[in-house]
Amino acid sequence: MLDFLKGPKSTSADKSQIKTRKLKADSVHRSMRVMINDGGKYHGELGTVTGVKEGCSCRDGWCEVLLDKNKRREEFRYGYRGDVSDLLEVTSEPGRPEPIFITPATAKKGTRVQIWEGSQFAEQAIYGAGTIAPTSDDDLGWVNVEFDGGYQNSYRIGHPQVDGGTSDLIHA
């Protein structure tokens, strides 16, 4: 299994090294690392924002978070209106590398990629790494990927006109 799908190892020593700060509503974005601070059953868990307005069916002031522990997607308030937020922004998380997203500028034929854990296509990460294949100019904001095992599909690459700049791919 790919290491990025496992999420960070959760130990009490690791959690004590994680630094957080109050989340600013206007800074919430896809791929942001957060800690749940709602006092409920997910309190203290870590996750990654996977949807804010574009990319999810969330209500205003809510975002979708992919939880590390159980890989569930849940919605949490982020303070869009008023000061109520269920989330803290993770500012430092030792041992967890930041994903490097594929963008229109870096999406070149032959580039090695894998599916980002927060993508709507995350279940396809089982195919492992793949290579960006030739695509037509008509596919604005999308690229074809051929995975090492032969599976092929098209994925978003962060073009502003496609789902608010969502990218499904990271560098392998």
Q: What residue ranges do the domains of the chain occupy?
A: 7-92, 112-171
Tokens found for residue 160:
């502003």
Largest CA distance in the chain: 50
* 3-state DSSP assignment of residue 35: strand
pTM: 0.63
CATH 2.30.30.40 at 112-171, yes or no: yes
| CB-based burial label for 73 (10 Å; 0-12, 13-18, 19+) | middle
Asked if residue 54 has pLDDT above 90, the reply is no
What pLDDT is recorded for position 14?
64
Q: What torsion do the CA atoms of 87, 91, 96, 97 make, to the nearest 10 degrees? A: 120
Could you check whether 7-92 and 112-171 share the same CATH topology?
yes
Instruction: Look at the domain 7-92 and name its fold.
Output: SH3 type barrels. (2.30.30)
What pLDDT is recorded for position 24?
82
Instruction: Count the neighbouring beta carbons within 10 Å of the beta carbon of residue 14.
Output: 15
Tens digit of each residue's pLDDT (9 = 90 or more) over 78-98: 876 667 789 999 988 888 877
Q: How far from 79 is each of 25, 83, 103, 107, 133, CA to CA, in Å?
A: 5, 5, 29, 34, 41
